[in-house]
Chain A
Amino acid sequence: MKMMTTSFCGIEFDNPVTVASGPGGNGEELSEHIDLQRLGAFTSKTVTKNPLDGNPPPRIVDVYGGIINSIGLQNNGFKDYKEKTLPFLEKTGTPIITSIASNYLDELIWMINGLNDTRISIIEINLSCPNIDKKREMIGEKPENIYHAVKKIKSISKKPVLIKFGPDTNLMEMIEAVVISKADGVVLINCPKGTKIDINTGKPVLKRVHGGLAGPAIKPIALHHVYTVRKKFPELNILGTGGILNHEDALEYLMAGADMVGIGFGVMMDPETPLNVIKGLKKYLKENETTVEKIKGMAQIKKN
C-alpha cells in the first residue's frame, strides 16, 4: 500500500483529497490554475436534469469563519454536462465524482442511467434541490422515503453511490436508511443553513434569506458527524467536507474516520488549496512514517 492511497467505495485513489462539488465548478477554470490530475478525485458541480439559472445576487456573503452562499445550483443541465463537461474532465485523467441533485426519484434515475455508460468513478446524490414542483411527491427527509429511493437507485446504478447530507436533526435515521438500502457511502456534510441581516436596512442580505454556511466555521460540526457516523457504521464509506483549508484540517477528518476529504470553500479562497493540502499530508505521513490507511479513524475511542 502506498503512503497516500485511500480505498474508497471499492476504488483505490492516489490520494484522499477531492474538490467538493460546487466551488470548483466543472474544472475548466480550475484547470487553468492547478493540474487536476494531481487530485485524488474531482467532484463536479452539482448537475440537475434541466438547466437552472440559480439565485439572484448577492450570492456570497462574508461571515466570521467563512461565507454564506446562495448560488441556487446554477448549471447548464444534464445534457450539457454529458456533452461538454464529461469529455473535458475525462481528458484530464483525474477520477471523476459526478454530483447530481433532484427532489424526485424519476429524475435521479434518468441521470444515473445516463452516467452508467461513462468513465466516471462515483455518483454523489444530493436529495434536495431548490427547484420544487409542488404537484409531485418529493423524496424529502423521511427515512422511509430515502430508503425506498436509494434502494431503487442502487438497483439500477452501475457506479458506487454516495448520498450527501447536511447536519439535519434526524441525520442518523437518514443514514441508517441509506445503509440498509446499501448505498456505498455518505458525504458529510452539506452546508448547514445560515442567515445574515443587514442592520442598515433591517433586512436579510440574501434575497432568499437563508443560504449555505461554508468555511472553517462548520468544520467542528462536520467532524462531529463524521466521527459519530464512523463509530456507528465502521464499514460505511465517508467523504468528509467542511472548512478544510490545510493538511491539518484534512488529517482531523481522516483521523475522525473519513476515507476521503472534499475541499469546497478552500478552493474558492485559493485555487491552490487542494494541492497544498496534498503536499502537507505527504510531508506529515513521511515524517510520521505512516499511511493514510493507518490514520483513518485512529481518533475513534474504542470501549473495551
Chain B
Amino acid sequence: MTKIILKKKKVNGEYMIADFKTERPLTILPGQFLMLKNRTEPLLPKPFSVIESSKDSFKMLIRIVGRFTNYLKEAKAGEEFFCRGPYGNPFIETIPKEKKVILIGGGCGGAPVIHFSKVYKTRARKLILGFKTKAINKILKDYDIIVEEETGETVVDHLRKYLDGLKPEKKEQLTIISCGSLQMHKAIVEKVAFAGEIFLSLDERMGCGIGMCKGCPVKTRDGIKMVCRDGTLFNSKELLLEW
C-alpha cells in the first residue's frame, strides 16, 4: 500500500473535496480508481475515482455516505491514509479512438468525467454535470452544474436537449461516457435518442479491486464480468443492467 497524506479538504453538506499528497509518484488516468483506507476501521479499502491528479498528488470528489467517508470528513490535514492502485481501465482505452465525447456525470460520478475533460481537452466535446443538492456549488465553483433541487431538471433532460440541438451528421461523430447511478445509466440508454455508442461507468461495492475476489459483478452478453477489472467503463450494448 502507498502512504498518502491528507493535505486539505473542503466540506459542504454531503459533499467534500479532499487533496492528498502521495509518498511515491502515481500515474492515474481518467476513469481509474484508487482503493483508500485509514489505519483502522473500516478494514477493507474503498474505491474512489479522482477528479484531478499530478505526479505526487490527487484530488477526490466524495459524497459523504458511509463509515469511511464520514471518517474522512472529520480527518485533519496531515493525517495519514493508505491507498492501492490505480486500478480499472482508463476511459480512453475503452472508447473509439476517433470520436469526440459527451461526458455526463451524475453526482460524484462527475469526478472521472471532469478528470477526462481536463486531460483530453480536444476529445471532450461537452461536459454535463448534475447534482441533487445545491451544497455542491461551494465545492465545485468552476463548472456549470445542474442542481436538481433548484431546477427540477436532471442531466438526462439536459443531454436530451443538447442532442436535439445538434445536426444528425454532428451526432454521428460523437460518443457518450456516462458516469453515475444505475438509474441514470438506464434513463440514458432507454430514454435518450442517440444512435451512437454509449459507454457506462459502473459503480459497485468492491472487495479486492483487482478482479480476484469476484465481489463486484455485472451481467454482460459475454457472461459475468467484474466492474473493477473489466471496467469500470462498459459499452452499454454489452451490458444487461438487470440481474
Q: A59-B214, A62-B66, A71-B214 are in contact. Are A29 and B205 (CB under 8 A)?
A: no
Residues of B within 8 A of A33 (CB): 210
Interface assignment of B62: CB less than 8 Å from any CB of chain A: no
- Docked complex Cα distance between A28 and B229 (Å): 12
Digitize B28-70: 1 where CB-to-A-CB distance is under 8 Å, 0 elsewhere: 0000000001000111110000000000000000000011000
B162 to chain A, nearest CB (A): 31
Q: A53-B224, A60-B207, A268-B208 are in contact. Are A215 and B43 (CB under 8 A)?
A: yes
Name which residue of chain B comes closest to A51, CB basis. Answer: B223
Interface assignment of A166: CB less than 8 Å from any CB of chain B: no
Interface assignment of B1: CB less than 8 Å from any CB of chain A: yes
- Docked complex Cα distance between A272 and B45 (Å): 14
- Docked complex Cα distance between A69 and B213 (Å): 10
Interface assignment of A23: CB less than 8 Å from any CB of chain B: yes
Residues of B within 8 A of A25 (CB): 211-214
Residues of B within 8 A of A59 (CB): 205, 207, 214-217
Q: Which of B168-196 contact A (CB under 8 A)?
A: none
Interface assignment of A24: CB less than 8 Å from any CB of chain B: yes
- Docked complex Cα distance between A66 and B207 (Å): 11
Interface size on B, residues (CB 8 A): 29
Residues of A within 8 A of B206 (CB): 60
Interface assignment of B204: CB less than 8 Å from any CB of chain A: yes
Q: A66-B43, A267-B208 are in contact. Are A60 and B1 (CB under 8 A)?
A: no
- Docked complex Cα distance between A58 and B224 (Å): 14
Give the contacting residue for B43; candidates A24, A69, A267, A269; CB below 8 A.
Answer: A269
In the complex, are the beta carbons of A57 and B216 less than 8 A apart? yes
Residues of B within 8 A of A66 (CB): 43-44
B-side interface mostly: loop
Q: A29-B229, A54-B217, A270-B84 are in contact. Are A60 and B44 (CB under 8 A)?
A: yes
Size bin of chain A's contact surface: 35 or more
- Docked complex Cα distance between A25 and B208 (Å): 10
Give the contacting residue for A271; candidates B41, B43, B208; CB below 8 A.
Answer: B208
B11 to chain A, nearest CB (A): 22
Q: Most chain-B Cβ atoms within 10 A of its Cβ — which of A22, A29, A54, A74?
A: A29
Interface assignment of A32: CB less than 8 Å from any CB of chain B: yes
Residues of B within 8 A of A69 (CB): 207, 213, 215
A71 to chain B, nearest CB (A): 5
In the complex, are the beta carbons of A60 and B215 less than 8 A apart? yes
Digitize B152-166: 1 where CB-to-A-CB distance is under 8 Å, 0 elsewhere: 000000000000000
Interface assignment of A221: CB less than 8 Å from any CB of chain B: no
In the complex, are the beta carbons of A67 and B204 less than 8 A apart? no
In the complex, are the beta carbons of A71 and B204 less than 8 A apart? no
Residues of B within 8 A of A171 (CB): none
A270 to chain B, nearest CB (A): 6
Name which residue of chain B comes closest to A74, CB basis. Answer: B214
A72 to chain B, nearest CB (A): 9
A199 to chain B, nearest CB (A): 13
Residues of A within 8 A of B43 (CB): 65-67, 215-216, 245, 265, 269
Interface assignment of B143: CB less than 8 Å from any CB of chain A: no
Give the contacting residue for A62; candidates B1, B44, B208, B243; CB below 8 A.
Answer: B44
Residues of A within 8 A of B37 (CB): 269
- Docked complex Cα distance between A61 and B43 (Å): 12
Give the contacting residue for B210; candidates A29, A61, A65; CB below 8 A.
Answer: A29
Q: Which of B87-128 contact A (CB under 8 A)?
A: none
In the complex, are the beta carbons of B204 and A57 less than 8 A apart? yes
Interface assignment of A30: CB less than 8 Å from any CB of chain B: yes
In the complex, are the beta carbons of A57 and B205 less than 8 A apart? yes
Q: A29-B210, A61-B205, A69-B207 are in contact. Are A269 and B216 (CB under 8 A)?
A: no
Q: Supply 16 A–B pairs (Cβ within 8 Å), ascending by A.
A: A25-B214, A28-B212, A56-B243, A57-B205, A60-B44, A66-B44, A69-B213, A69-B215, A71-B213, A74-B214, A74-B217, A265-B43, A268-B213, A268-B215, A270-B1, A270-B45
Besides A58-B204, A270-B45, 5 other CB < 8 A contacts? A60-B205, A60-B206, A215-B43, A268-B215, A270-B84
Binding site for A on B (CB under 8 A): 1, 37, 41-45, 66-67, 84, 204-208, 210-219, 223-224, 229, 243
Query: Across chains A and B, which 6 residue pairs bring their CB atoms closest together, nearest first?
Result: A25-B212, A29-B212, A56-B243, A60-B215, A23-B213, A58-B205
